[in-house]
């Protein structure tokens, strides 16, 4: 049997002498080749739904840097669109969606059984990627976590404090929970289809998990992640799941045990030493270099990268950023980070 791919080995709990690397938003606007392909597609959503071009931008950072994993090029907001929400992107501002604040808004959503009519091109991108990726590169599929997706569906846009979603939770808990349940079921189907098309790992992005406190964190971050992971594992027992409850703080402790995920992705608000002692004790972790180093570079980038690798060297670790790389990052700094990890 051929040696397993590096990321799959880390996810299975192996401690590797050189940890594998990929980066959130590794296909993105900091790369000139991404901007060229996006211009060819017309706009961001047209790029997401064009399997040939979406596969092309997924492959670009693999060709340039030889990352250990590729992440499917798509977006967490495609699922709401498949459920019937209107979705568009305002240049320089971000996503806009039709809002869900009343029972009547919710009743207009489509059943989960109908999402593939919109999402089929995404599965086609996955199939193309499995054909075209180098043998050693792992393909990661993904979806948003129900809470994070709901924050966009309720507010109709990104919000600094997720206030509209918190308000609906407090004012109409039944509707809020019905929405979360619909997203949870949709996510299970969406991720399963990505796996059937060839995704080897799936990641659940809960970018706004940090704004859920106490019992709300249990009910709306932990519990949906557990439910999705259990359903995926029941259908596809060999597919590892990465959870990313961003800015969970103490909520990172025990997250893997409580949800069944194989790896916890960490943002950079927690120190690597703390996370090694409190999170990595339960298994693989991913992270957690501040993405600002990709803009500023210099010796601080090298020192911080090495410090993170060292802090996590006693257990399974996948090197990544604490959040996505930003459009103002210098592509040469990405190479410097990779060289620092691989000891060149």
Residues that bind ligand CP3 (CB under 6 A): 24-29, 38, 44, 71, 73-77, 94-95, 142, 144, 158, 205, 207, 324
Is the separation of the CB atoms in 122 and 74 below 8 Å?
Answer: yes
Smallest separation, CB 260 to ligand CP3 (Å): 21
Beta strands 94-97 and 87-90: pairing type? antiparallel
Smallest separation, CB 340 to ligand CP3 (Å): 21
DSSP state of 219: I
Nearest to residue 78, comparing CAs of 40, 115, 127?
Answer: 115
Beta strands 87-90 and 317-321: pairing type? unpaired
Which one of 25, 182, 246, 336 is the catalytic residue? 25
Residue nearer to ligand CP3 on the CB measure, 38 or 276: 38
Is the separation of the CB atoms in 258 and 222 below 8 Å?
Answer: yes
Is the separation of the CB atoms in 183 and 150 below 8 Å?
Answer: yes
Q: How far is CA 335 from CA 57, 171, 271, in A?
A: 18, 49, 23
Smallest separation, CB 132 to ligand CP3 (Å): 16
Tell me whether residue 25 is one of the annotated catalytic residues: yes
Smallest separation, CB 201 to ligand CP3 (Å): 13
Smallest separation, CB 175 to ligand CP3 (Å): 22
Residue nearer to ligand CP3 on the CB measure, 73 or 217: 73
Q: How far apart are CA 197 and CA 233, in angstroms?
A: 16
Q: Three-state SS for 15?
A: coil
Q: How far apart are CA 30 and CA 38, in angstroms?
A: 12
Is the separation of the CB atoms in 139 and 130 below 8 Å?
Answer: yes
Smallest separation, CB 2 to ligand CP3 (Å): 27
Residue nearer to ligand CP3 on the CB measure, 184 or 276: 184
Tell me whether residue 336 is one of the annotated catalytic residues: no
Residue nearer to ligand CP3 on the CB measure, 184 or 207: 207
Residue nearer to ligand CP3 on the CB measure, 172 or 292: 292
Which one of 30, 34, 38, 182 is the catalytic residue? 38
Q: How far apart are CA 191 and CA 51, in angstroms?
A: 17
Which one of 9, 29, 127, 130 is the catalytic residue? 29
What is the residue whose two structure tokens read 């990104």? 158
Which one of 68, 75, 267, 282 is the catalytic residue? 75
Residue nearer to ligand CP3 on the CB measure, 24 or 264: 24
Residue number of the CB closest to ligand CP3 reads 207
Q: How far apart are CA 330 and CA 317, in angstroms?
A: 25
Tell me whether residue 152 is one of the annotated catalytic residues: yes
Is the separation of the CB atoms in 72 and 127 below 8 Å?
Answer: no
Nearest to residue 320, comparing CAs of 72, 12, 67?
Answer: 67
* Catalytic residue list: 25, 29, 38, 75, 152
């Amino acid at each position: 049997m051929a040696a397993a791919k590096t990321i799959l080995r880390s996810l299975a709990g192996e401690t590797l002498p050189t940890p594998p690397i990929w980066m959130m938003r590794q296909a993105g606007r900091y790369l000139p080749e991404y901007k060229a392909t996006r211009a060819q597609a017309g706009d961001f959503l047209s790029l997401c739904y064009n399997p040939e071009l979406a596969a092309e931008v997924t492959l670009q950072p693999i060709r340039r840097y030889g990352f250990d994993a590729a992440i499917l090029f798509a977006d967490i907001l495609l699922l709401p669109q498949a459920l019937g929400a209107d979705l568009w992107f305002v240049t320089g501002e971000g996503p806009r969606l039709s809002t869900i604040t009343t029972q009547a808004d919710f009743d207009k959503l489509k059943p989960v059984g109908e999402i593939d009519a919109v999402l089929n091109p995404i599965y086609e991108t996955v199939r193309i990627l499995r054909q075209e990726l180098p043998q050693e590169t792992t393909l990661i599929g993904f979806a948003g976590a129900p809470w994070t997706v709901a924050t966009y569906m309720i507010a109709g846009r990104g919000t600094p404090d997720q206030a509209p979603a918190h308000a609906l939770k407090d004012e109409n808990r039944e509707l809020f929970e019905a929405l979360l349940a619909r997203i949870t079921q949709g996510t299970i189907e969406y991720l399963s289809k990505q796996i059937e098309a060839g995704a080897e790992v799936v990641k659940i992005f809960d970018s706004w998990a940090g704004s859920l406190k106490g019992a709300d964190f249990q009910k709306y971050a932990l519990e949906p992640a557990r439910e999705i992971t259990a359903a995926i594992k029941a259908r596809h027992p060999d597919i590892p799941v990465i959870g990313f409850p961003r800015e969970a703080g103490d909520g990172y402790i025990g997250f893997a045990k409580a949800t069944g995920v194989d790896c916890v992705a960490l943002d950079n608000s927690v120190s690597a030493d703390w996370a090694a002692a409190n999170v990595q004790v339960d298994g693989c972790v991913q992270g957690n270099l501040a993405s600002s180093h990709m803009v500023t570079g210099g010796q601080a980038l090298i020192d911080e990268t090495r410090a993170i690798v060292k802090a996590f060297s006693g257990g399974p670790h996948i090197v990544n950023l604490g959040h996505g790389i930003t459009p103002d990052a210098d592509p040469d700094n990405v190479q410097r980070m990779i060289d620092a990890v691989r000891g060149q």
